[in-house]
Structures are given as C-alpha cells and as structure tokens.
Structure 1
Amino acid sequence: MAAAGRQWRLTRAADLEELWDAMTADPHNFEDERLPYWTELWPSSVALAGWLAARQEEIAGRACLDLGCGLGLTALVGQWLGARVTAVDYEEAALHFASRNAALNGVTPPCWALMDWRRPAVRARSMARIWGGDIMYEKRFVAPVLRFLEHALAPDGAAWVAEPGRSVYEAFLHALHSGGWQGRRVHTARVEPLYAQPVPVTVQVWEIRRRAD
C-alpha cells in the first residue's frame, strides 16, 4: 500500500473475521474484551500516516509514542521520518507482526512495548508527540486515555488522534474540554477502500494539547 510518500508491505495473521471465528472456541479469549482489531489496517491509520509525513519537522529527532500500534504502520512511518518512536499495544501478537513489518520495510525498529494504557509504562511527561489511529471506539476508553495523556505527554506536547466519525468521539471531546485540555480538528482525509471495505471513509485528525491557564 502507499502512505506518506512511499510503498509499504504489511503482513498480518489473518483477517478479523477468521480470528473472531477462531476465538469463539475458547470463552477466555473474551476476558477484558481482547478482540483482535489489531489484525486489520484501518482507514484512520492511513490518514494518520499522511498527517505524520506532513508534520515531519515536528517529530524528527523527538520522543514520540504510538498508542495502540496494531500492525505498526504509523509507528514505522514515524520512525522512517526520523522520530524516536515507542510503539505500544495491549496485544503481544500485534507487536509480533508489527516487528515483522519493520523488517519487511527496511525500517529501524521502534521501541516495541507491551502495555495496557491503564497502567502506563513510560516515563512521566516524556513524549513530545503521542498519536493513535481509531483508538476511541468505546466510551469506556475515554477516561483511561485522558489519564494516559496526562501522564505521558510533555507539558508543551501534542497528541494526534485520527477517527472516522464514531459517535463515541463526541464523549471524548466533551471530556477533553471539561478536563483541562483543548482539541481542534487539524486534518481531514478521504481514504480509499481497503480490503473489502465497500466505500471510501472520511477520517479526521484532531490535535490535543493542555489548555493554557
């Protein structure tokens, strides 16, 4: 696929439907809702990759974090653009395939880390930029993601969240504005169909910063 001005090759375990069918044989797979969304390349990741390329001067040479890296596309784009990327995911299998994708594309691997965003494993206020593609798809994620940003984002840092118009994002924006943050839409992209996705998807990228007192 093409993103950020070059071609990328990505490998994955299977498609989401196949992994879902395999999971249903063992009810323990649904504990804490460990659903295999990581195995898909989502339109938000493609749009976010383009945004990172447009902001190369902001990320090159700086400590950045990819929150919920999945197959690794945006982590690899950031690393290729010169950022010092830490890429985290809740699922070990996702990190395995993301690491393989770094090798496939000749990109110096980011720092891969298995992490639950409810239990931050990065130094406090150490990240100049944090980004994530389509991470806000359940309302229960709003509070822990905001707590993670409060912990990990540098005082003058920014987070970029790409989202495809999910209704839950309104709850996230409300929590942002009532919790000492400011968010503004900085980019809109029309992503052409991926896999069997029938129609293009419009993705918005939001920039989040601490609100100045």
Structure 2
Amino acid sequence: MTEMNFTKYLQTVPLHNGSFDLFVPLQSDIQQAYLEQKSVDANADFPYWAKVWPSAIGLSMFLQAHPQLLQDKQVLELAAGLGLPSLVAAKYAQSVCCSDYVKAPLDFVEASADHHQLTNIDYQIINWFTVPSTITADVLLLSDINYEPAAFAVLFEMIQVFLAKQTTIILSTPQRLLAKPFIAQLLAFSTFQTEIEVLENGVSVWVQVLLLQQ
C-alpha cells in the first residue's frame, strides 16, 4: 500500500474483562491509499490490517480468560494487523514481538502500546511465507490467518515448524466454510478448543479458538 500518514484515532473494543482502547486508521485514509495503489498496481493487496476483526477480539478475550498461558512467556504474533492480541498479551507476557508484513499497521500498534505504557513489545516486519528460521517463541498468536486458500499449504507448514520447536500456538478463526479443510488438519495438534461470541455491529460472530501443541 502507498506510504502515507494515516490519521490515528482511539477505538474502544469491548472485551469480556472490560474494554480496550487502541489506535485505528480513518477508513477514508485507507480507501484513498488503496485506490491510489490500485491505480498503479492492479494486484495491490487489500489492507486487511486496517480493521479490528472479530477473530482478534475473540483471541484477546481468550487470552484474558487464560493468562497463565502467557505468564512470563516470550510471545510472537504473526500477521498482527492493529495488534489487539499482542497488546492484551503484553499485560501478562515477559515480552511480545508484534509483526506484520508491512510497516503501516505496526506504527498503530506502537502508538497503542505507548498509550497503555507497555514497554515489553517490539515490532518486526515478518512475512509468514518466509519466517526466518532463527525466530523462536514460547507462544505464537495467529488471528484470522486462514482467509486465502492459496496460502493454506504454506501456513500449515509454518505451523508445523513452530510446533516442532515446542511453541504453543493459539489460533482464532471465524467459521468460514472454505477454511474447514485447513482447520481439520490442525485438529490433530489441538489440546483445547472453544467458541467465543463476538458482536460486530450488533451481529453475533462465533470465533473458534484452538490451542495447538506438539
């Protein structure tokens, strides 16, 4: 997406345990930047990072309910977008690495972390297609990554690599029909799963959360 200075404003996200404020972009800024990018590149990626998705909220609710999974752990979030799970995790974890494949969303996460005076988060540009082999974590957070079938094989391989490193993976996903085969592959590694109701514009969205371990 075209580099530009997006206007930041605080959005309050309701969680099970109170609410959480984080910075989000003006959608008019996002639309303008996307249209500009499309005018020079018809295959420009849609800026999915620019919204707080129900799966991120559901994962954050799960983390609040199970802080022992994060206590004193090194946490990594891939494809974090606006980073709500990373920000919630930082309340309990020893350290959090919040990552996405572009820089723009990480600027918002950093602003949110500063707002909450969180000092145990760092930020990295990481593409899940090419995660460096040197990267390790006690806990890996994945929120709504399974939206593009063409990427499922790569995602499954990446998940297997982290599981082989004894990383605990916490994955949240909306119940998309197209993602059912991908989720079915992961059930062999699932030690716990639950469903969490998230309200989006007054409509219930059910988010599935899987705890994956080798």
Matched, 1:190 2:197: yes
Q: Does 1:148 align with 2:135?
A: no
Other-structure match for 1:54: 65
Give, in angstroms, the shift of residue 161 of structure 1.
Answer: 1.2
**Change over 3 Å in CA distance of 1:200–1:83 after alignment to 2:** farther
- CA contact under 8 A between 1:137 and 1:169: conserved in structure 2? yes
Query: Structure 1 residues 156 and 25, CA, compared in 2 at 3 Å: closer, same or farther?
Result: closer
Kindly state the Cα deviation for residue 84 of structure 1 after the two structures are TM-superposed: 1.9
Counterpart CA distance in 2 for 1:11 and 1:121 is: 29
Query: Is 1:199–2:203 an aligned residue pair?
Result: yes
Conserved? CA contact 2:74–2:93, under 8 Å: no
Aligned residues: CA RMSD: 2.3
1:168 aligns with 2:171: no
Inter-partner Cα distance in structure 2 for 1:66 and 1:45 = 11
Distance in 2 of aligned mates of 1:184 and 1:139: 24
1:108 match = 119
Which secondary structure does the structure 2 equivalent of 1:71 belong to?
coil
1:12 to 24, 41, 52: 24
Amino acid in structure 2 at the alignment position of 1:55: H
1:208 deviates by: 2.2
From the superposition, tell whether residues 95 and 122 of structure 1 become closer, same or farther in structure 2 (CA, over 3 Å). Answer: farther
Per-residue deviation, 1:143: 1.6
1:32-181 alignment, distance < 5 Å: 33-121=44-132, 123=134, 126-153=136-163, 155-176=165-186, 181=188
Instruction: Give the secondary structure class of the aligned counterpart of 2:124.
Output: strand
How much has 1:46 moved relative to structure 2? 0.9
Q: How far did residue 184 of structure 1 move?
A: 5.8
* AA aligned opposite 1:82: A
Q: Residues of 1 paired with 2:120 and 2:47: CA distance?
A: 23
Distance change (3 Å), C-alpha of 1:129 and 1:4: farther
For residue 172 of structure 1, report the CA deviation from its aligned partner.
Answer: 0.9
Q: How many residues align?
A: 201
Contact 2:98-2:124 within 8 A present in 1 as well: yes
Q: In 2, distance between residues paired with 1:206 and 1:130? A: 12
Q: Secondary structure at the match of 1:103?
A: helix
Structure 1 runs not aligned, ≥5 long: none
Summarize the Cα distance change of 1:83–1:154 in structure 2 as closer, same or farther, 3 Å threshold.
farther
Identity over aligned residues, as a percent? Answer: 22
Q: What does the per-residue CA deviation read over 1:24-76, in whole Å, with 9 as the maximum and x for residues that have no partner?
A: 23334554x52111110111111101111222112111122111111111001
Deviation, structure 1 residue 201: 0.9
Whether contact under 8 Å (1:85, 1:110) holds in the other structure is yes
5+ long unaligned stretches in structure 2: 1-12
Task: Tell me: CA distance 1:92–1:166, structure 2 relative to 1, closer, same or farther (3 Å).
Answer: same
